[in-house]
Chains A and B, each alone.
Chain A
Amino acid sequence: MVRFLIKRLSLLIPTLLGVVTLVFFMIALSPGDPARVMLGERANKQQLETLRAELGLDQPLGTQYGLYLKRMVRFDFGKSIKTGRPVMEEISNLYPATIELAFFAMIFAATIGIIIGVLSATRKNTWIDFTSMVGALFGVSMPVFWLALVLIMIFSVGLDLLPTGSRMNVRYYFESITNFYVIDAIILLIREGDPKYLSSAVKHLILPSVALGTIPLAIIARVTRSSMLEVLTQDYIKTARSAGIKESRVVYRYALKNALLPVITIIGLQFGLLLSGAILTETIFAWPGLGKWLYHAIEARDYPAVQGGVIIISTTFVLINLVVDILYTLVNPKIRLQ
């Protein structure tokens, strides 16, 4: 196990170095001049060259890369061209919003997905199974941004039940403590006894979570179903049944526990993907998170911001995959022995 851990962890460094390097060369070799972006079209040659020297862009690519690596080790992504503030500071302010959204999207996806998966497996080839699996297929075939617009059209514009975007009713005087609004709102509920913040935060989370969670929901439902079907044919389940144990107990107590192993892996992997899927969802719901910020950074050709955002999202993705991998090996003795 220790050897597995060491092997897995030692792969982490070259992968992250690769990510950082790829991002550097993608941006360095892309057409367009950061100095030009910063100064605008009307800047003269003199100004451009001064700024290029200031940013180190006049150095040879190798020197630039060396300096860049040195900064990366300190998580120093430089300053955003658009706002002039350190990129890392902006990211750490915005990331909680994205993680909060991804977390609730995943709660929605995992709960409903597992329930649907178990129901379809235990009622294989019935209309419940058929409808669920067709539904899951629709779920993975749908453009997420379109679903988001349709949800807004129905629940915000049509029925006027839920807000169209942002994280909190703008009329509330609300100062965030943790940047996780639900946690903030709970603190406020305890401190001031006023539930309006919590209800507003939750209401704002519903539509974006549903939109972002639809694809993982469909995938989790399919994986749960197939995993359950496989477990349900195994001998120990037959033994449990023949021992006269109630069917519901067999399913939920004995089968589900083992069937959930691949499901948990999928949940982990999908969570990593949600962080980048949030680019679309956040843009539509005006969710002030990393995804929307990164989108605007790309639009504005704000190179340091794009660099920082891409590296942070990818690093999180790599780390989540690593944790999932290790957890899977920890709970599955079959793999550990190999």
Chain B
Amino acid sequence: MSEQLLDTESIEPIEKEPGRFREALHQLKKNKGAIAGLIIIAIFLFIAVFAPVIAPHDPLSQNIELRKSAPFTEGFLLGSDDLGRDLLSRIIYGGRISMIIGVVSVGIALVFGILIGVISGYYGGWLDKIIMRLIDIMLAFPYVLLTIVIVAMLGPSLTNAMIAIGISQIPRYVRMVRASVLAEKEADYVVAERSLGASNFELMFRSILPNCLAPISVQASLGVGEAILSSAALSFLGLGAQPPTPEWGLMIASSREFITSAWWIVTFPGIATLLAVLGFNLFGDGLRDMLDPKLRD
């Protein structure tokens, strides 16, 4: 054992970490896609935080006389909807909701996914077998269907939509984290730390987990984009946000009857969704290229 402690190779993985991230930062400057994604995300986060300051109107205030005003008329930059509400203000507040949905859903998925994945991979045995069977069963449901079924069970609301999306995204993190833990847990540095008396908890979350963060961060970025899309889809089906919430999917849903008369009500919320999701996808793809060239597709 003492020989292993002196072995320089055994400490290498821990020391390599900051270097890899500095390297990643350097790569970031070269990766135009990731930069573009980061800028888009930053803009949307800014809009989300400062929505009340930026929005020219109250997103809920109706003005029936000015309903379905075209863009650039009556002081509505992007026009008004069927109840005379300012479309731009609603899209801005919708951005706030979508950012919250993305972060909360992925947060739920991350917390449970990492926890279950680490435990499953670290302890192995029958516990691991049971967990993996359960994950297989969850993956037997197509993702969209799983979110719909969970929301249908919990009852339609924005909170339940976030929970459903979070639960549906758990399996991917469990599998990813478990695989990483399996690869790391016999590594020299873990064996060394264990012999120094580190507890299971310390080994799992302080020694092993940091070495699995690269693929998780990539998946998390892509997951936020997916969560925004899924919540829009659930709201579109009437299973997520409820009127008059300015949620993008709900706005698109309620625009359905106006496709013949007011194109802007249909078009702009969709473009907002597209751009926000694009930002997270660009950043996620870029991050993947930076952190691990082997993962590149």
Q: Which residues of A contact B (CB under 8 A)?
A: 11, 14-16, 18-19, 22-23, 26-27, 29-31, 137-138, 140-147, 149-150, 152-153, 157, 222-223, 226, 272-273, 275-277, 279-280, 283-284, 295, 298-299, 306, 310, 313-314, 317-318
A323 to B186, CA, bound (A): 35
**Which of A146, A150, A284, A318 contacts B140 (CB under 8 A)?**
A318
Q: What residues of A have a CB within 8 angstroms of the CB of B281 in the complex? A: 137, 140-141
Q: Report the minimum CB–CB distance from B87 to chain A (whole Å).
A: 15
A299 to B151, CA, bound (A): 11
Chain B residue at minimum C-beta to C-beta distance from A17: B137
Q: Report the minimum CB–CB distance from A151 to chain B (whole Å).
A: 10
Cβ contacts B205-241/A at 8 Å (1 or 0 each)? 0000000000000000000010001001100111100
Q: Report the minimum CB–CB distance from B257 to chain A (whole Å).
A: 11
Q: Report the minimum CB–CB distance from A2 to chain B (whole Å).
A: 23
Q: Kindly list the 8 A-B residue pairs having the minimum CB-CB distance in the complex, ordered from nearest.
A: A18-B137, A146-B270, A276-B142, A276-B145, A30-B153, A141-B277, A141-B278, A226-B297
Partner-binding segment picked from B17-25, B47-55, B114-122, B260-268: B260-268
A-B contact pairs, 9 of them (CB 8 A): A22-B141, A31-B155, A141-B229, A141-B277, A143-B248, A143-B273, A146-B266, A279-B237, A313-B145
Q: What residues of B have a CB within 8 angstroms of the CB of A18 in the complex? A: 133-134, 136-137, 140
Q: What residues of A have a CB within 8 angstroms of the CB of B277 in the complex? A: 141-142
Cβ contacts B275-297/A at 8 Å (1 or 0 each)? 00110011001000000000011
Q: What residues of A have a CB within 8 angstroms of the CB of B229 in the complex? A: 141, 143
CB of A298 within 8 A of CB of B137, answer: no
**Which of B138, B150, B267, B270 contacts A143 (CB under 8 A)?**
B270
CB of A26 within 8 A of CB of B149, answer: yes
CB of A279 within 8 A of CB of B145, answer: yes
Chain B residue at minimum C-beta to C-beta distance from A273: B142
CB of A314 within 8 A of CB of B141, answer: yes
A279 to B252, CA, bound (A): 16
Chain B residue at minimum C-beta to C-beta distance from A316: B142
Chain A residue at minimum C-beta to C-beta distance from B273: A143
CB of A280 within 8 A of CB of B232, answer: no
Give how many B residues have a beta carbon under 8 Å from the other chain's beta carbons: 48
**Which of B236, B249, B253, B270 contacts A150 (CB under 8 A)?**
B270
- The B interface is mostly helix, strand or loop, or mixed, namely helix
A16 to B140, CA, bound (A): 8
Q: Report the minimum CB–CB distance from A274 to chain B (whole Å).
A: 9
CB of B145 within 8 A of CB of A314, answer: yes
Chain B residue at minimum C-beta to C-beta distance from A31: B155
A153 to B252, CA, bound (A): 13
**Which of B133, B252, B274 contacts A141 (CB under 8 A)?**
B274
**Which of A16, A144, A153 contacts B263 (CB under 8 A)?**
A153
B148 at the interface (CB under 8 A from A): yes
Q: Report the minimum CB–CB distance from A128 to chain B (whole Å).
A: 17
A299 to B239, CA, bound (A): 9
Chain B residue at minimum C-beta to C-beta distance from A11: B136
Q: What residues of B have a CB within 8 angstroms of the CB of A318 in the complex? A: 140
Chain B residue at minimum C-beta to C-beta distance from A164: B259
Q: What residues of A have a CB within 8 angstroms of the CB of B256 in the complex? A: 149, 284
Q: What residues of A have a CB within 8 angstroms of the CB of B83 in the complex? A: none
A57 to B36, CA, bound (A): 56
CB of B137 within 8 A of CB of A138, answer: no
CB of A22 within 8 A of CB of B137, answer: yes
Q: What residues of B have a CB within 8 angstroms of the CB of A310 in the complex? A: 141, 145, 149
Q: Report the minimum CB–CB distance from B71 to chain A (whole Å).
A: 15
Given the interface contacts A30-B153, A276-B142, A310-B141, does A153 sit within 8 Å of B259 by beta carbon?
yes
Chain B residue at minimum C-beta to C-beta distance from A318: B140
CB of B148 within 8 A of CB of A279, answer: yes
CB of B233 within 8 A of CB of A317, answer: no
Q: What residues of A have a CB within 8 angstroms of the CB of B248 in the complex? A: 143
CB of B237 within 8 A of CB of A283, answer: yes
Residue of A142, A143, A298 with most chain B CB atoms under a 10 A cut-off: A143
A337 to B137, CA, bound (A): 28
Chain A residue at minimum C-beta to C-beta distance from B226: A140
Q: What residues of B have a CB within 8 angstroms of the CB of A137 in the complex? A: 278, 281-282, 285
Q: Report the minimum CB–CB distance from A72 to chain B (whole Å).
A: 15
Q: What residues of B have a CB within 8 angstroms of the CB of A275 in the complex? A: 142
Residue of B140, B148, B270, B285 with most chain A CB atoms under a 10 A cut-off: B140
A18 to B297, CA, bound (A): 33
Q: What residues of A have a CB within 8 angstroms of the CB of B274 in the complex? A: 138, 141-143, 146
Q: What residues of A have a CB within 8 angstroms of the CB of B255 in the complex? A: 149
10 other contacts beyond A141-B281, A317-B140, with CB at 8 A cut-off? Answer: A11-B136, A19-B141, A140-B281, A143-B273, A147-B270, A150-B270, A272-B142, A276-B144, A279-B144, A284-B256
